[in-house]
Amino acid sequence: MRTPEELHLFTGPRLEFPLTAQQLDEIRADAAISPFTATDDGAVVGHIELVSTGEGVARIARVLVDPARQGHGLGERLLRAVLDEARERGIRTLTLRVIPTNARAIALYEKLGFAFTGEEEGARTMALEQP
């Protein structure tokens, strides 16, 4: 994330600017969160979280891709890894929130089967029911 506002917009209040590996390590300590972090030569280039919210239900959160890596499929690979993990755990309902102006993310979520379900806190909510 390039600015404190951008980080807050995409991740909420839990993370502080500048984002550090230590902050991501602290998230990994939370048993309800399954983080997936992509690295390249030790540098974090992408991150996504699967957050358990109930029996068979989870939320996808904090989807981050290094701006220099956007448009090269990294976000899709991270998202597919989370979907596979959810399926293996028996999670069938997945939700997420996306900023309405994030057309690239919305296109990816729709490509993978997510549909709009409403709005919450200035973001669009989307859901996916997995087989």
Q: SS3 of 24, please?
A: helix
Q: In what order do the strands lie in the sheet with 123-129?
A: 33-40, 43-54, 57-65, 93-98, 123-129, 115-120
89: DSSP letter? T
* Overall average pLDDT of the 104-131 stretch: 94
Instruction: Give pLDDT tens digits for 52-99.
Output: 999 999 999 989 898 899 999 999 999 999 999 999 999 999 999 999
Residue 29, classified by CB atoms within 10 Å of its CB into exposed (0-12), middle (13-18) or buried (19+), is exposed
Average confidence (pLDDT) over 106-113:
97
Q: For the chain, give the percent of residues with pLDDT over 90.
A: 57
Alpha carbon 36 to its chain centroid, in Å, reads 9
What is the model's pTM? Answer: 0.82
Angle at 30 between CA 118 and CA 40, to 5 degrees: 85
